[in-house]
Structure 1
């Protein structure tokens, strides 16, 4: 029996030969359940034993650190496989152009929503609090990081943030943009090779990618523990004694993110033929992990696998998701404009609408480097205000403003990460639809029954390991999945 036939037989077995539906996995065997348990336990510890909670942050940080170790190799391998499998650089260029156009449109909308929310609700108006000495010290540290990360305008951004200084340096520094540039250059060089050699090289890279995803699967076993540590720290640190204005800022920010996801992304999804709420249900495991770790990077490898199994083509997923992690940060964009105006309002000042638009245009650029900076959102906000400068944002005003919101930044960070993640998932499916590289029937089936994609992911990490080293064409794994799906549907009828 061939690999494809064996896969089809396996899917048929799951579906059942008697016409019954595939057996659903019990909830207590699924990742989302245990992550939710970890979050709940973290909340209890943070409330009942805040001292223990404040000492638990290292658990979540360690998990995110382990994920970051493999994010660079995952992006490098995935982008190469995605572009090289096209076999046509013109198609890859067209895909990249569509993706960047979509990212630009969503960025403009997100920045505009942040400005609109700040002007409507004015969360900083009437602020009478003063930052603590500890908050001022943390703010000075963030501003120092922002100064170090200052790109010196567009040319500086190209030289310092986009173009790598060595081949291995970006992997050591975990610079997503520079890794992306290296991956694209490598993929273009491989695409220019003769077909047999290209197939062998990409096959080897694909084998390495499978090993990396196997490592990710092992790391994900401790995701519930990481969620516990992160949530315990957040609750213990934040407590219940929040100031009115800071509470309003959080409410406005989370509400604006919700409007962006449900309305903006909901409309985009509907126009592309799928339901945003079903998409959110599909990625619930990843969203729970983000809530616990406050990092969207922690789920990037899982998203790459899940979206391919859900019907998006390998090349679209391999290019759009890694690129989106630097160029499609919708939640971060909402945070930047809303946070900037909050600081102005808290200082009993106001910005003319023309100046606000100028600030938003500047943030079109500064937001693109957010994924490559530690403490991305807060540091990028400080860097943006420093770059804008002028009479509205003096060095002292920036330091005081950052100190005011630094205490709630982790809560805001969760909203940024969740919105960024959902935005990139929707972007991948939409762009795949535009390019005619979305299996719409498979996506519809997966959205109706997310357990189908879980089974496909298990097969990719497990039974299909025997495919490594075979000389089949690159699209073969996806074809096999499509055949599996049709076989399952026939068994269900």
Structure 2
């Protein structure tokens, strides 16, 4: 018995030593590599701006790789999420809760941002004047972003080509296709449905392995993107609009820490521990300034955190189209910035009208090529009262605003997936506690 006990002890010690050897060194961790890439990019941007600008190609290549994988991942996860739900009634239950949640949180984010913009007086000291010629030129350039009418937004939801929606990267159209395909899958007989679902599951697993391969290039992408941002804009462009940036970053932090924190606390989670869990994704989002860059990893980590596949598969992709809280903050602050900078008075009635308009246009950020700034340009055009001439000024700091906006967007959707999963009874708390213990090395308390 003693020999057996000693043998078991040696076996456990050997297993522990093996696990310790398998743990990657600190320099091999993705988060550390991304931070190193960011620091190196900032340094190069200041030391050799011209060379730093040429590094843009590294960031562009990485973003192209990410964008390439997003549409098929969204399709597979939505379809498999619907299949996991088991019936259309359950899909509708999850979807309805998600849409109600999205609209409430987006409205809160917009309202808070409008209040902050009015109190802070962003843009008030610039005293800019709009010329008729510049207004006409700006309209010709940015008017192509498309009308912000509800009819136009509704029309963009429905693709006229199955493959075209994937080729164009139109997330809303891919969502419509995915929901329709998932509904059709539930209507198949059991044997056929099992066969198709099994094939899609294997494809999904393969795509996630593909994501792991792409993520090896994340540090290089982070380096190239940051180097270009610093090298091309320099500190002068940042300082000239520094107050707007400061107010925007503080407002976005307020939304994340307070609004999301209150929501998570209600569902038994701590916001700071939640953000620590996604720290690698936050570094990646900051470096690339693209919400899409973290989407594949959010799918994986949310499921490991206890969210059901049907919840993440339905809520996360839908949230990337309908729940852009960071975009809401950006649009509200920049709207008041333009009005103040050009001396355009906006009474309460006009501001409420703009808020209603932004509730619609902010939902279209994923459908318009160019992202948040182009959608904002379309909103300014549609308003008819804001100066278009100010858009190029805001574009000069677009890179720096996008970094914080995309973090808020992505974390808002991660919170939404957790909330919907927990509120529908499809959350595994034991899995969440085990995952936190694995990551942080200590069992969480009553609040996860």
Q: TM-score, normalised by structure 2?
A: 0.90
SS of the aligned residue for 2:85 comes to coil
> 1:13, CA displacement in angstroms?
8.6
Residues in 1 aligned to 2:280 and 2:141: alpha-carbon distance in whole angstroms: 32
Task: Render the CA deviation track for 1:409-428: whole Å, top value 9, x for unaligned.
Answer: 10001111010011011111
The number of residue pairs the alignment matches comes to 428
**Residue number in structure 2 paired with 1:446:** 435
Runs of 5+ in structure 2 lacking a partner? 1-10, 444-448
> 1:187, CA displacement in angstroms?
0.3
Does residue 157 in structure 1 map to residue 153 in structure 2? yes
**Residue number in structure 2 paired with 1:405:** 394
> 1:374, CA displacement in angstroms?
2.5
**Residue number in structure 2 paired with 1:221:** 216
CA pair 53-128 structure 1, distance change in 2 beyond 3 A: farther
Does residue 428 in structure 1 map to residue 399 in structure 2? no
CA pair 25-274 structure 1, distance change in 2 beyond 3 A: farther
Does residue 376 in structure 1 map to residue 368 in structure 2? no
Residues in 1 aligned to 2:362 and 2:149: alpha-carbon distance in whole angstroms: 13
Matches within 5 A, 1:231-250: 231-242=226-237, 246-250=241-245
Runs of 5+ in structure 1 lacking a partner? 1-11, 453-484, 486-493
**Residue number in structure 2 paired with 1:266:** 261
Matches within 5 A, 1:45-444: 45-128=44-127, 146-151=142-147, 153-159=149-155, 161-242=156-237, 246-389=241-384, 392-393=385-386, 397-398=387-388, 400-444=389-433
- 8 Å Cα contact 2:128/2:342 also seen in 1: no
Residues in 2 aligned to 1:94 and 1:68: alpha-carbon distance in whole angstroms: 30
> 1:237, CA displacement in angstroms?
2.1
Q: TM-score, normalised by structure 1?
A: 0.82
Task: Render the CA deviation track for 1:396-454: whole Å, top value 9, x for unaligned.
Answer: x21x21022111110001111010011011111111110111111221332344279xx
> 1:350, CA displacement in angstroms?
2.1
Matches within 5 A, 1:27-46: 27-46=26-45
> 1:244, CA displacement in angstroms?
5.7
Residues in 1 aligned to 2:219 and 2:318: alpha-carbon distance in whole angstroms: 28
- 8 Å Cα contact 1:279/1:447 also seen in 2: no
Residues in 2 aligned to 1:295 and 1:76: alpha-carbon distance in whole angstroms: 19
Task: Render the CA deviation track for 1:54-84: whole Å, top value 9, x for unaligned.
Answer: 1111211111111111111111111000101
How large is the Cα RMSD of the aligned pairs?
Answer: 2.6
Task: Render the CA deviation track for 1:214-273: whole Å, top value 9, x for unaligned.
Answer: 211111111000000001011112322247661100000000000000000000000010
Residues in 2 aligned to 1:188 and 1:16: alpha-carbon distance in whole angstroms: 47
- 8 Å Cα contact 2:124/2:340 also seen in 1: yes
- 8 Å Cα contact 2:306/2:429 also seen in 1: yes
> 1:336, CA displacement in angstroms?
0.3
> 1:376, CA displacement in angstroms?
1.2
CA pair 350-445 structure 1, distance change in 2 beyond 3 A: farther
Residues in 1 aligned to 2:60 and 2:16: alpha-carbon distance in whole angstroms: 47
SS of the aligned residue for 2:286 comes to helix
- 8 Å Cα contact 1:127/1:245 also seen in 2: no
